[in-house]
Amino acid sequence: MYPWPIGDFDNAMDEALDVAMDYLERTEQAVKFIEVQRVAAMAIVAWKGGVRHRIKLAHVAIKAVERKAEHPRYIRGAANQL
């Protein structure tokens, strides 16, 4: 199952996480799969307040993971700031 931190989720969030994780795996950015999936899921939840398009949500998740890879200290609480 998916690592949603809250009970309020829909299919668009599941599909967005699938798209994001597929991209991250293919580009070898998901070596630490569980950690990457958690960061991606947190970014999707943070943007769910109105954004329903799965590709936009996937993009947000991918960018959050890529920023974490560039700036590991900065991202610790950044999913909450998106």
| pTM score, whole prediction | 0.76
* Sequence-distant (≥ 6) Cβ neighbours of residue 26 within 8 angstroms: none
Query: In tens digits, what is the pLDDT along the chain, a chain of 82 residues?
Result: 567 666 666 788 889 999 999 999 999 999 899 899 999 988 888 777 788 889 999 999 999 999 988 775 544 444 444 4
> What is the model's pLDDT at position 56?
93
